[in-house]
């Protein structure tokens, strides 16, 4: 009986809701009947749930439509097509182009036509760029203009210019190109640090060389790292469609302001699957300013080796916090050592900002100018303290030692020195020497053979005792060479072979 009563009440509520909704949707029933030639006594055909065209909803959509179109019209002139030409050398085969096919060479290599002579070929590629100053400075991706012979910049109004590469920064995959022109339509910069997940964004570029193309989406995530695209990663993730050719294009907010430089997509097919990445405009502005002023990117340097706080390390160091950057080692005579930073310290704040991870701290420090002072908040033996540090300039050796970007079988393998703190935390014996693997990208040829925390002791039978040994060994490996590694893993040794 109670069930029947409850069902009856629910039904009455639903009918009441539809009745009230009907009244709101048809405020003037007499006028509607008159226009259709019906009287109040005449039967009316059931309209179901079909709503009339018009009203506040349509007006709202029209306003949104006009706003988006206005943003697109504002931004499109600032986004350019970048066409590049590169000269490459290949052996000429008496069998024609068949044996030069990349698919064939993947399986058979170069054993055919050993006496073929070298021929030069020109290849072309397309990308995008964003005009950021009226006098011709253009932001784009490093991979768009890296190692190219010619750069052609084509504006929306079809004007063509020869571009000059002013500087590049592979660590963020950014580059600056300059054209000789005045009065160009420069984009306005927005504040990428204020972006929030869920905000509307628009991507503008030249996918597949089709010309200026607009796609829309939302900010899916901010602060994305460990993507494997660049060394300094703080990506904006978006579901706005980004396809090949969009690289270097603009990601703008609803005000038409530049908040990111489109860089890459995560895809198994090569096409858009709703996961795209853009370099934040704040990082792009910093890199651009440094390149224009110094001819290179000048980064701040603290002088510490840092790592994630794992549950095991938390127990070992008696740390309750789950965020921050754990100091594994302090470089001798570095700014950190002079300020009093020690191994085992957990850095949780930098210049008033919370440090969520080692990547976040690395980006914060790199974005500061050498010589500037910074307040570092840390936890030592359960007690919170703040140290004042005068940052130095990141040395090239330190920058090269943090990652190993090579075009061979060990591409995408990240290593660092085996410090005493790391040795102790991972219980690695004193007689084990080498460099420790901190990360292996998923698309790296070494992904199937190497693991995080492996200690590389030999490369192709050559001993590796330091980062210098590692870099010298890896730089001598050719693109198609197989690699033999001696690795210490889990208390034992094993050989690992890696094929490109």
Catalytic residues: 143, 173, 247
CB 330 within 8 A of CB 315: no
- Please tell me the distance from the alpha carbon of residue 11 to that of residue 409, in angstroms, as a whole number: 68
Q: Which residues contact 132 (CB under 8 A, 6 or more apart)?
A: 138, 139, 186, 187, 189, 258, 288
CB 482 within 8 A of CB 497: yes
Segment (H or E) for 107: helix 102-108
**What Cα–Cα distance (Å) separates residue 417 from each residue in 18, 153, 174, 487, 488?**
70, 43, 28, 15, 14
One-character DSSP codes across 63-86:
HHHHHHHHHHHHHGGGEEEEEEEE
- Please tell me the distance from the alpha carbon of residue 35 to that of residue 38, in angstroms, as a whole number: 8
* In the block, residue with structure tokens 């539809």: 18
- Residue 482 CB: number of other CB atoms within 10 A? 13
Pick from 72, 69, 64: nearest CA to 205: 72
- Please tell me the distance from the alpha carbon of residue 350 to that of residue 427, in angstroms, as a whole number: 30
- Please tell me the distance from the alpha carbon of residue 6 to that of residue 2, in angstroms, as a whole number: 6
* In the block, residue with structure tokens 């192709």: 460
The secondary structure of residue 173, as a DSSP letter, is T
- Please tell me the distance from the alpha carbon of residue 320 to that of residue 308, in angstroms, as a whole number: 14
* In the block, residue with structure tokens 């490093």: 142
Three-state SS for 195-230 is: CCCCCEEEEEECHHHCCCEEEEEEEEEEEECCCCCC
Pick from 393, 390, 397: nearest CA to 338: 390
What is the dihedral sign for C-alpha 235, 239, 244, 247? negative
- Please tell me the distance from the alpha carbon of residue 352 to that of residue 356, in angstroms, as a whole number: 13
């Amino acid at each position: 009986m109670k069930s029947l009563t409850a069902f009856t009440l629910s039904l009455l509520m639903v009918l009441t809701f539809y009745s009230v909704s009907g009244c709101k949707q048809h405020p003037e029933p007499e006028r509607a009947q008159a226009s259709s030639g019906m009287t109040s006594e005449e039967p009316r055909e059931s309209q179901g749930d079909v709503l009339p065209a018009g009203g506040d909803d349509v007006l709202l959509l029209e306003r949104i439509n006009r706003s988006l179109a206005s943003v697109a019209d504002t931004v499109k002139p600032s986004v350019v097509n970048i066409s590049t030409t590169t000269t490459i050398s290949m052996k000429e085969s008496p069998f024609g182009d068949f044996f030069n096919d990349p698919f064939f060479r993947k399986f058979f290599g170069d054993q055919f036509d050993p006496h073929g002579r070298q021929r030069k070929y020109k290849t072309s590629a397309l990308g995008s760029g964003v005009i950021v100053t009226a006098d011709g400075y253009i932001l784009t991706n490093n991979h768009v203009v890296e190692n190219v012979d010619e750069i052609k910049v084509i504006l929306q109004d079809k004007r063509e210019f020869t571009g000059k590469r002013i500087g590049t920064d592979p660590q963020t995959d950014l580059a600056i190109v300059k054209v000789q022109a005045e009065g160009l339509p420069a984009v306005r910069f927005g504040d990428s640090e204020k972006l929030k997940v869920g905000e509307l964004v628009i991507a503008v570029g030249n996918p597949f060389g089709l010309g200026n193309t607009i796609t829309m989406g939302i900010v899916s995530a901010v602060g994305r790292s460990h993507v494997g695209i660049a060394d300094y990663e703080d990506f904006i993730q978006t579901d706005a469609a980004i396809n090949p050719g969009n690289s270097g294009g603009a990601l703008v907010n609803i005000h038409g302001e530049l908040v990111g430089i489109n860089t890459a997509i995560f895809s198994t097919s090569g096409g858009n699957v709703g996961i795209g990445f853009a370099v934040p405009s704040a990082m792009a502005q910093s890199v651009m300013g440094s390149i224009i002023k110094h001819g290179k990117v000048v980064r701040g340097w603290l002088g510490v080796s840092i790592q994630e706080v794992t549950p095991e390390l938390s127990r070992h160091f008696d740390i309750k916090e789950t965020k921050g950057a754990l100091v594994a080692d302090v470089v001798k005579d570095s700014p950190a050592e002079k300020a009093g930073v020690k191994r085992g310290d957990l850095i949780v704040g930098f210049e008033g900002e919370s440090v969520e991870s080692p990547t976040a701290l690395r980006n914060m420090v790199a974005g500061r100018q050498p010589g500037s002072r910074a307040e570092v908040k840390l936890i030592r033996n359960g007690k919170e303290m703040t140290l004042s540090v005068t940052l130095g300039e990141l040395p090239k050796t330190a920058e090269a030692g943090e990652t190993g970007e090579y075009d061979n079988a060990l591409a995408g393998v990240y290593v660092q020195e085996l410090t005493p703190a790391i040795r102790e935390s991972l219980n690695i014996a004193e007689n084990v020497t080498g460099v420790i693997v901190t990360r292996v990208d998923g698309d790296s040829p070494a992904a199937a053979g190497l693991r995080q925390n492996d200690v590389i002791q030999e490369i192709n039978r050559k001993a590796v005792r330091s980062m210098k040994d590692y870099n010298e060994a890896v730089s001598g490996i050719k693109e198609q060479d197989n690699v033999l590694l001696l690795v210490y893993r889990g208390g034992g040794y094993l050989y690992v072979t890696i094929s490109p």
